[in-house]
Amino acid sequence: MEHLQYYWNWYCYANFFKSLGFTTLQSFDEAWRAKRGSISERNDNIRKALVEYYREYFTDRPDLVRKIMSTHAPQVRRKVVDNSFYSIIKQENVDRVTEIIDCITETGTKTKDCTERKFDMIVLGGFKVSHYFWPLDYKGRDGMTLKKAWQKDGARSYLGMTMPQYPHFFSFYGPNHQPRAGSLHSFGERWARYVVSAIVGMIEEGYSSIEIKKEVFDEYNARLDAGNKNLIWESGGSGYFVNQHGRQAVNMPWTNAEYHPMVRKVNFDDFQLK
């Protein structure tokens, strides 16, 4: 990368393009499932390859295979990528504990099987992505709050950027708009262009307010929900993508090719301009 001119650009492009193939792992193939497959032929083959790898790598520690192997399909949750993870848990001074922690004690933890373990330090890792804009609670038109707007089944938006009863409110990377593949940063640039175009268009036409129409918002989210039903994230083993209402509220159901035309140009007929 230091000595071959333009190789860095090609490397970045190649990785971006390769990531587009992830979308084929995220969709149900009903014809394949009718043949007693789980998700799709490609997804099932990747799971088979992973299982074979685990069993080969842990030949000397078959007790760890059960604790390592997930019950959900690949891509239902985000993968943990760490080249040293498997070798670390094989070390004699490391335990892979899968029992649920019942409580934190004065000296460590106690799991549901009543086993107590002493620790000098406990590191809690995790996050919740369903609390968009937390801890702020923006107030919209007619006293609307995010709590009221999202009380039915969690955070929603139009194109990941705006909501009814919130004039002039635009966001990047909003509810249900994590790209399924590619680069988040490239979409950040596209969202910025969309928002600026909306504001400029409003000003040039002599308006002082822009707000997405409720019927446009509802129709868009109905299509979004229908698209999610064809994808694997709400299936068994679902993780942080699924909110407390059981709805996948992080990723967009559209592929890059489907979503890009939606945000390439602002359709001002979708908005109330005053």
Percent of the chain with pLDDT over 90: 66
Quote the domain boundaries for residue 45: 7-94
My answer on whether 106 and 52 are in the same domain is no
Domain count, the chain: 3
| Within-domain flag for 136 | no
| Within-domain flag for 133 | no
My answer on whether 106 and 85 are in the same domain is no
| Within-domain flag for 195 | yes
Burial per residue of 181-195, b for 16 or more beta-carbon CB atoms within 10 angstroms, e otherwise: bbeeeebeeebeebb
My answer on whether 175 and 200 are in the same domain is yes
My answer on whether 118 and 185 are in the same domain is no
| Within-domain flag for 12 | yes
- Residue-wise pLDDT tens digits, 145-204: 998 999 999 999 999 999 999 999 999 889 999 998 888 888 999 999 999 999 999 999
Beta bridge partner(s), residue 139: 145
- Classify strands 271-273 and 101-104 as parallel, antiparallel or unpaired: unpaired
Q: What average pLDDT does the structure give for the chain?
A: 91
| Within-domain flag for 159 | yes
pLDDT of residue 175: 92
Neighbouring C-beta atoms of residue 127, cutoff 10 Å: 6
Rounded to an integer, what is the distance from CA 144 to the centroid of its chain? 27
- Residue-wise pLDDT tens digits, 14-71: 988 888 888 889 999 999 999 999 999 999 999 999 999 989 999 999 888 888 888 8
Percent of the chain with pLDDT over 70: 100
**What are the percentages of helix, strand and coil residues in the chain, rounded to 5?**
40, 10, 50
- Asked whether residue 269 carries a pLDDT value surpassing 80, the answer given is yes
| DSSP 8-state symbol, 40 | -
My answer on whether 111 and 200 are in the same domain is no
My answer on whether 35 and 120 are in the same domain is no
The CA radius of gyration of the chain, in Å to the nearest whole number, is 23
pLDDT of residue 130: 67
My answer on whether 78 and 104 are in the same domain is no
- Asked whether residue 139 carries a pLDDT value surpassing 80, the answer given is yes
| Within-domain flag for 77 | yes
| Within-domain flag for 134 | no
My answer on whether 145 and 157 are in the same domain is yes
CA angle centred on 243, ends 130 and 194, rounded to 5°: 45
Indicate the length of the chain as a whole number: 274
Tell which wins on pLDDT, 115 or 132: 115
Question: Nearest 5°: phi and psi at 234?
Answer: -95, 5
Question: Nearest 5°: phi and psi at 111?
Answer: -95, 170
My answer on whether 156 and 119 are in the same domain is no
Cis check: omega of the bond before 179, within 30 degrees of 0 = no
My answer on whether 151 and 256 are in the same domain is yes
Q: What is the mean pLDDT of residues 77-90?
A: 83
| Within-domain flag for 135 | no
My answer on whether 86 and 40 are in the same domain is yes
Which residue type does 58 have? F
pLDDT of residue 110: 96
Tell which wins on pLDDT, 216 or 174: 216
C-alpha 200/C-alpha 266 separation (Å) is 11
My answer on whether 152 and 113 are in the same domain is no
